[in-house]
Amino acid sequence: MSKDPTIERYVPKGTPIGRVRGLGSARHGAHDWVLMRYTSVASLVLGAFLVFSLAFLDDYSFATMRAWAAQPLVATGLALMVITFFWHSRMGVAEMIGDYVHEDGNKFGAMMALSLAVIAGIAFGLFCIARIAFSGGAA
C-alpha cells in the first residue's frame, strides 16, 4: 500500500514536544495583547471624560464648544483621546490583516497603508486640537 504524498506533508513528524518547540510566540504577542488592553482602558477613561465633561456644559453652541475645547485640560484629554483611539484601531486592524492577508506583498502594502492612514489621522486630529487650543477659543 503506497502513501499519498499530499497527505504525508500534513501528518506531524516527531514527538509532541518536538513539534511544539520553536512554534511559540515570536516574543511580541504578549506585548501586543497588553498594549491592546492598556489602550482599551485608556479609551474607556477618556471616553467617559468626554461624555461627562460635555454633559455638564450649559449649551452646545459653536462658541461654547470652541471655548471648552480651548481649555488646557480638555485639549490635553482630546489629544490623548485622538492618539489612543487611532492607535487602538490600528492594532485591531493590523491583527485582522495579519490573520486574513496571506501574501507577503499584499500584507506589506496593507500594513503600510494602514500605518500611513493612522499617522495622517493622528497628525490631523492633533493639528485641529492645537489650532483650537492655541487660538484661545477665539473664532
Q: What is the pTM of this model?
A: 0.75
| CATH number of the domain to which 93 belongs | 1.20.1300.10
- Tell me whether residue 92 is in a domain: yes
Q: 69-107 b/e with 16+ CB inside 10 Å = b? A: bbeeebbebbbbbbbbbbbbbbbeebeebeeeeeeeeee
Convert the pLDDT of each residue in 72-85 to its tens digit: 999 999 999 999 99
- Count up the domains in the chain and report the number: 1
Range of the domain at 108: 27-134
- Tell me whether residue 5 is in a domain: no
Helices (DSSP H) in the chain: which residue ranges? 5-8, 16-20, 29-55, 62-69, 72-100, 104-134
- Tell me whether residue 58 is in a domain: yes
The pLDDT, as a whole number, for residue 32 is: 82
Q: Which three cell numbers stand for residue 92?
A: 485591531
Nearest Cα to Cα of residue 42 among 94, 91, 112:
91
Convert the pLDDT of each residue in 9-18 to its tens digit: 555 566 666 6
Name the pLDDT band for 30 (thresholds 50, 70, 90). confident
